[in-house]
Amino acid sequence: MADSTDSDRPDLPAGDFSAWLRATRIALAGEGDAHVPCGTCTACCTSSQFVHLAPDETDTLARIPRALLFPAPGLPPGHRVLGYDEQGRCPMLVDGACSIYDHRPRTCRTYDCRVFPAAGIVPDEPTKVAIADRARRWRFDHPTPRDRAEHDAVRAAATSLEVHPELAADGLLPADTTGRAVAAVALSDLFSDLEEGDEPSVTLVREALVERRRRV
């Protein structure tokens, strides 16, 4: 488990930004796993997070005691969430490691805290201190102008989502920092190759968010 004071520890290499972005979009589309060099860090498993499980995750669902699963709020019947204990730990974390690692939920397979430095967002929820410390340490490389431009586009998308609270009020944006960072990654193409000071209309951003929600 990462402790809450590791912000003074060495930087962590996050890889080339464009390669990370391609891989992350594949993972978020459910077409692959995120390959995160977690080491011994289990911050995301110990930060009071509800883990969503979709009905088609039958192999995983069969390995989790029924008593630990609850209906997922706002989602159709069959969607579940796995909760956490009084210390904020996932109950499947045993002796500092995931006890169902090879069969872990899709949410865990696609979770990547590098999404925060990608979007320029620091998770500020009180329960995410360990994740925030880890996220602060990642450093992306930008070996080509494309790496820099794509990173700038993700950050511009995050800023745009931040300054248009009406999108959150419409229920199109998750209120939590993870959801906003992931949305910035998903929408960043709208912010690519623009003239300086230019940005897509709120209508265009809204349409992209509606389409994204339709696919979830």
CA–CA distance from 175 to each of 26, 79, 165 (Å)? 23, 20, 10
Q: From the list 43, 92, 131, 153, which residue makes contact with ligand SF4 (rule: CB under 6 A)?
A: 92
Q: Is residue 104 part of the contact set for ligand SF4 (CB under 6 A)? A: yes
In the 8-state DSSP scheme, what is residue 82?
E
Contacting residue, 108, 115, 190, 208, with ligand SF4 by CB under 6 A: 108
Contact characters 133-172, ligand SF4, x per CB under 6 A: ----------------------------------------
Closest CA to 3 of 96, 74, 68: 96
173 binds ligand SF4 (CB under 6 A): no
Select from 187, 178, 193 the least CA-distant residue to 208.
187
Q: What's the rounded Cα separation, in Å, for the pair 50 and 74?
A: 14
Identify which of residues 44 and 181 has a Cβ nearer to ligand SF4 in the complex.
Answer: 44
For ligand SF4, which stretch binds (CB under 6 A), given 21-29, 86-94, 140-148, 199-207? 86-94
Q: Distance (Å, rounded) from C-alpha 167 to C-alpha 60?
A: 34
Interface with ligand SF4 by CB under 6 A: which residues? 45, 51, 90, 92-93, 98, 100, 104-105, 108
